Amino acid sequence: MVNNLDFQSLEFYLNQKYKVSVYLEETGIYSILIPELPGCMSQGKSEKEALKNIEKARQYWIIRSWESGDEIPLPNQ
C-alpha cells in the first residue's frame, strides 16, 4: 500500500502509454499483455481485436488499482 500523497490523479495514470506484447497462439487467437501491469492481459480473434480488448483491460486494471490504493507502475520510457 502506498501513501495517498504519492498518488497522481486517476486521469494521469489512464493517460500513460504502456508497451504491449502480442503473441499469436497455435489456435490462431492473439494473446496480448502489458508486462508492466501484472496480470493485465487479454485476447482477440485478430490483432486489432486483441489491441481493442487490452485497452479495456488496461483501463480496468488502472481504475481498480487506483481505487484500492495500490501502486500503479509507470511505463518504462
Does some domain include residue 75? no
Rounded Cα distance between 4 and 54, Å, is: 27
C-alpha grid cell for residue 45?
480473434
In this prediction the pTM is 0.85
Per the structure, the count of domains in the chain is 1
pLDDT, tens digit (0-9, with 9 covering 90-100), for 13-28: 999 999 999 999 999 9
> What is the domain range of residue 56?
4-68
The neighbouring-strand residues paired with 31 are 23, 43
For residue 38, what is the domain's CATH number? 3.30.160.250
Q: Is the pLDDT of residue 6 over 70?
A: no
The average pLDDT across 28-57 equals 97
Rounded to the nearest integer, the mean pLDDT of the chain is 91
